[in-house]
Structures are given as C-alpha cells and as structure tokens.
A and B are shown apart, each in its own frame.
Chain A
C-alpha cells in the first residue's frame, strides 16, 4: 500500500491528465492504468463556452483522489493562491506544489517550493512538492512535514528517463516519507527502474498521453511499476564482475 498523509492507495501509479488525443482514449487509458490518483491543473474557465466538455465531468469521482498541481506558478505566493482555489472546489485537499524556476527546462525553484510548502502545510493541505533530485532538498522538505516528496527523473515532458539514478537512490534510501518519481519518465523500463531504486510511486503523464497507443502504454506502465516494486521488495542479487555457473560443476559426464 502507498500511504500519503491520511490516504492509502493500492496502485503506485499517479497519472496526469494533460495532452491526450481525446476524452474517450483518455478515459480508457485511465482505466487501464488502474491509477487511483489523477493530477489536474487549475485554469481560468472560458465562461462564454460553458458547454465545452471537461474531463473531470466524465469521471466517477468516488474512484479517484484528485491531485491538483500549482503549474503556472513561479513564486510561492502564486502556488499558494492556486492551491487555495483548488481546495475551495470541495473536491480535494492534496496539492502538488510545482513552482517553476526556469522556463526552458521547467525545473523547479527549490527556494520558492520550500516557502510554498511551509505555508500550505500550515493551512492543513496534504502537500506533495515536485523537486529536483537533490537529497538535501528532499530531506528538508520531509523535515518541514511534507507528506511525500516528488523528485524529477529528468525535465518535464522530455521522456529522457532517469538521468541520475544515483541521486534518486540517495533520496529513496534516506527518506521516511513516500518518494514519488515525477516527470521525465518515458518508457515502462524507466518506471520499473524508478521502483527498483526504491521509489514508492511514479507520477507520469506524457509517457502515456503521447504514446502511439495511450491505452496500451497505460497498462504497460501499471505492470512495469508493479514489477519494479516487486523486484525492489525481493532484493536484487549483487553484481559480480565474472561469471558464476548456475549448473553444478560436479557430476558432468566428462569426469
């Protein structure tokens, strides 16, 4: 079970809801992923086109926990404002704190992220900050009281996979709160590796929504995350430089 604050999830896959070809494919992909947590962004509504369909309306909200993000914020104050707006919907109290510090790489601003997390924790939110893969930063966010920490594998939407597995493992080994690898995952192999490195969950979006077949990829990600987790729990064999035979050396027919 993945425990985040007061919530328990049997799935370790958290799924983003952006950039799908259409709502039908998206709905099928969400179901195939078996996720229980869906992320959303908060944006101005086009009030002159109120009848435009919205993905949220197509979901059975009893089946999913919503994890709104603060995407679009570049300061702690902006992130806090978005978080408060999202909670006023009455649908959620979790927040993915995302404060971007660089428009080209979309890497987070760690200082503003810490400031925003501090305020939102004070206000009783369940806080999941998106961070860079820095072990000290992850520890500081945990010490503040964040309910999970979400280091990136590589830049958002880049699909580059885990650029620094060493850093991620430092983080997973030291953390006492759930570590969710967020951003940069491109393939099922990346997701499995994140889990084998000791992550408690994976948050991804583009890897599924931009796959040729998002529904199939959603299922592949679910299986990869389960496989990676099982592998981590099982404990992999140590690596050796030379071969060791699997068959007995004694009793061959040549002796």
Chain B
C-alpha cells in the first residue's frame, strides 16, 4: 500500500493495515506521538480500528523544544 507520511511517499507491507500496526512498524508505539489521517486527528482509542487505505495522507507529530 502506498501512503504519504509527513509529506513523504511511503510504501507499506500488506500486513501493516491499521494505524496501530503502522506505529508498531516504525517502532513508535511507546512514543508520545499524535496521528492525523487526511486532516482528521485520531484519538488514541481508535488506532487499532482505524484502517489505512491507499493514498491516505498521514501526519505523525510530536513535541519538540520550543519557546
């Protein structure tokens, strides 16, 4: 499946078909991250049930140093 993560085209293995699997795939499941899919912010409680589709645009953001 081909999706766009943080502006980069990414090809995912077939098995990675949900948001929680996506986070595991990139070893982010224990990190403080926020996920937006097609400009819709996801609550953590729906990561497992949110299924990815070809062409989805995903943002994975986190907190960085700032003033």
Contacts and interface: CB of A to CB of B under 8 A. Distances in A.
Interface of A: 16-20, 26, 39-45, 47-48, 50-51, 54-57, 66, 68-69, 71, 81, 84-86, 88-91, 156-157, 183, 203-206
Contacts of B15: none
B21 interface: no
Contacts, number: 99
B17 to A, nearest CB: 17
Contacts of B42: 88
A40 B27 contact: no
A18 to B, nearest CB: 4
Interface in B28-61: 28, 31-34, 36, 39, 41-44, 59-61
B63 A89 contact: yes
Task: Pick from B6, B33, B66 the residue with the most CB of A within 10 Å.
Answer: B66
Interface residues of B, number: 25
Contact of B61 (A18, A43, A55, A203): A43
A156 B61 contact: no
Nearest to A44: B6
B14 interface: no
Contacts of A206: 67
Contacts of B6: 44-45, 47
A51 B27 contact: yes
27 contacts: A16-B65, A16-B67, A17-B66, A18-B66, A19-B65, A26-B65, A40-B63, A41-B64, A42-B61, A42-B62, A43-B61, A44-B60, A45-B6, A47-B60, A54-B31, A55-B64, A66-B63, A69-B66, A71-B66, A81-B39, A84-B41, A88-B42, A89-B63, A91-B32, A157-B67, A203-B67, A206-B67
